[in-house]
Structure 1
Amino acid sequence: MAKSLLVAYGLWALGGPLGLHHLYLGRDSHALLWMLTLGGFGGAWLWDFWHLPTWVAAANGTEVPTDRAGAVPAFSPLRLAGQVTVGMYFGLVAALGLPWVPTLLAQPLAVGLGVLLVSWVGNQRTEVPSTLAAAFLSSLLLQGRVLALLPVSVAASVAAQRHRRYKPCGTPRPGLPTRLYHLGLACLAFTAPLAYRGLWGAAGVAGTLLSLPRAAIEVLLLPLRASWLLAEALGLSSANPARESGASFRQSSWSKRQQWAYEV
Structure 2
Amino acid sequence: MKKYCLATFLFWLFGGWWGLHHFYLGRDKQGFLWATSCGGFIVGWLKDFSSLSRYTEEANEKYPLKLSRRPSMFSEMHRMLAMLIFSLFYRMIVANAVPTSVPSYNLIVLFVAPVGTAFGAYMVSNVSHISLSYKYPLIGAYVSEALFGVSHFMWADSNIILVCTVTCAICLVGWRERQEKIKKTKCQRFGLWFVLGLIVLGLWGSYFYHNAEVYVEELDGNVKLSHVFRVYFASEKWAELKEVLLDSTWIFLETGDFEQVFDRFSDDVAKSEVRNAFRVLGFNKDVEIDDISLADLKSAYKLGAKKWHPDKVSDPEKKEEAQNRFMEINEAYMLLERMIKRRMRD
Q: TM-score, normalised by structure 1?
A: 0.74
Match of 2:113 in 1: 107
Q: How does 1:1-264 map to 2 (within 5 A)?
A: 1-61=1-61, 68-73=66-71, 75-99=75-99, 100=102, 102-141=108-147, 142-143=149-150, 145-147=154-156, 148-169=159-180, 171-200=181-210, 201-207=224-230, 219=305
Amino acid at match of 1:134: G
Q: Distance in 1 between matches of 2:184 and 2:229?
A: 45
Q: Return the alpha-carbon distance in structure 2 between the equivalents of residues 154 and 181 of structure 1.
A: 32
Aligned to 2:312: none
AA paired with 2:204? L
Gaps of 5+ in 1: 223-264
Percent identity over the alignment is 22
Residue 112 of structure 1, CA deviation: 1.0
TM-fit CA distance, 1:221: 5.1
| CA deviation map 1:183-226 (0-9, x unaligned) | 11111111212113324544301355669959x7754559xxxx
For each residue in 1:21-61, what CA deviation from the matched residue of structure 2 results, as whole angstroms up to 9, or x when unmatched?
11001011110111111111122111111211122122222
- Higher RCO (CA 8 Å, separation ≥ 6 residues): 1
Is the CA contact (8 Å cut-off) linking 1:29 and 1:120 kept in structure 2?
Answer: yes
The amino acid of 1:53's aligned partner reads S
Q: How far does residue 73 in structure 1 lie from its aligned partner after superposition? A: 4.2
Note if contact 2:3-2:60 (Cα within 8 Å) is conserved in structure 1: yes
What is the letter of the counterpart of residue 229 of structure 2? A
Deviation at 1:83, TM superposition (A): 0.7
Letter in 2 for 1:139: E
The CA deviation string for residues 74-115 of structure 1, in whole angstroms up to 9 with x for no partner, is 530000011111111111112211235601212111111111
- Equivalent-residue separation in structure 2 for 1:92 and 1:221 (angstroms): 42
- Alignment check: 8 A CA contact 1:107 1:139 kept: no
Alignment RMSD (CA, Å): 2.7
CA contact (8 A) 2:65 2:179 kept: no
Q: What is the total number of aligned residue pairs between the two structures?
A: 219
Which entry has the higher C-alpha Rg, 1 or 2? Answer: 1
TM-fit CA distance, 1:67: 6.5
Whole-angstrom CA distance in 2 between matches of 1:53 and 1:122: 14
Once the two structures are TM-superposed, the CA of residue 66 in structure 1 deviates from its matched residue by 5.4
Q: CA deviation at 1:176?
A: 1.2
Distance in 2, matches of 1:72 and 1:43, equals 25
Q: 1:79 to 1:204 in 2, by over 3 A?
A: same
SS state at 1:146 partner: coil
Question: For structure 1, which segment, 101-110 or 141-150, has the greater mean C-alpha deviation from structure 2 after superposition?
Answer: 141-150
Question: Is the 1:131–1:156 Cα contact (8 Å) retained in structure 2?
Answer: yes
Paired letter, 2:208: G
3-state SS of the aligned residue for 2:37?
helix
Distance 2:140 2:307 in 1: 62
Structure-2-length-normalised TM-score: 0.57
